[in-house]
Each structure stands twice: as C-alpha cells, then as structure tokens.
C-alpha cells in the first residue's frame, strides 16, 4: 500500500492509503476521494485547477515536464513546491508525502 497525507481546503489532514497498482494519477484519485477540485481539463495540464502544494517530499517526485512547468509558471500564486496533481502518477514516489489542495474553484 502507498500512504500519503492530504490537507484539504479547510486545513484538515487525512492519511490516504491506496494499493500500488491503482493506476491513477493524483488528480483522479483526489476527485474519486471526493476532495474539492474542479479538474476542468481532465488531466491535460491546461487548467491548473488540480494544483497542489507539496509540503513534504517534493524531492522524491518525478520532475515536472515542460507542459506542467509552463502552466505552473503562468499561475499568479504558485510556489516552488507547486505541482499539478494530474501530472503525478499514484505510485511509490508518493509514499509519505504531504500535499495541500490549492487549485482554483471557479
């Protein structure tokens, strides 16, 4: 199992536990877990509504591709720890990380 921590918009922390072979990206998982995100573009790194800030464990994640960096670059309030959840596969790289949900809701 892969375990990591999600902090929602109200600041509530919850540990999420998922099987290694779940084969989803983090956006899909957050949506399926009823977290409040829009994910308007459905995972194409176009809308940034699935943005999360990685509060712990950033270094262990696969580096962002150009398309994700370009999108993060345009956001007014992104920080160096920001990632797009749709571009992160749910796999062992996520073990122990802490993320905070940030993307726009409108």
Binding site for other proteins (CB under 8 A): 38, 40-42, 44, 46-49, 69-71, 73-78, 80, 104, 106
CA pair distance 17, 77, nearest whole angstrom: 29
Nearer to other proteins, 2 or 50 (CB): 50
Nearer to other proteins, 7 or 38 (CB): 38
Please report how close the Cβ of residue 92 comes to other proteins at its closest, in angstroms. Answer: 26
Please report how close the Cβ of residue 105 comes to other proteins at its closest, in angstroms. Answer: 8
CA pair distance 82, 69, nearest whole angstrom: 10
Q: String of b and e for 58-78 (b: at least 16 CB within 10 Å)?
A: eeebeebeeebeebbeeeeeb
Please report how close the Cβ of residue 76 comes to other proteins at its closest, in angstroms. Answer: 3
Specify the DSSP element, H or E, that contains 57. none
């Amino acid at each position: 199992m892969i375990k990591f921590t999600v902090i929602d918009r109200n600041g509530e922390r919850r540990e999420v536990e998922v099987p290694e072979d779940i084969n989803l990206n983090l956006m899909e998982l957050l949506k399926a877990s009823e977290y409040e995100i829009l994910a308007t573009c459905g995972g194409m790194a176009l809308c940034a509504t699935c943005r999360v800030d990685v509060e712990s464990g950033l270094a262990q994640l696969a580096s962002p591709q150009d398309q994700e960096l370009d999108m993060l670059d345009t956001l007014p309030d992104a920080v160096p720890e920001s990632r797009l959840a749709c571009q992160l596969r749910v796999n062992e790289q996520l073990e122990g990380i802490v993320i905070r949900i940030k993307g726009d809701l409108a």
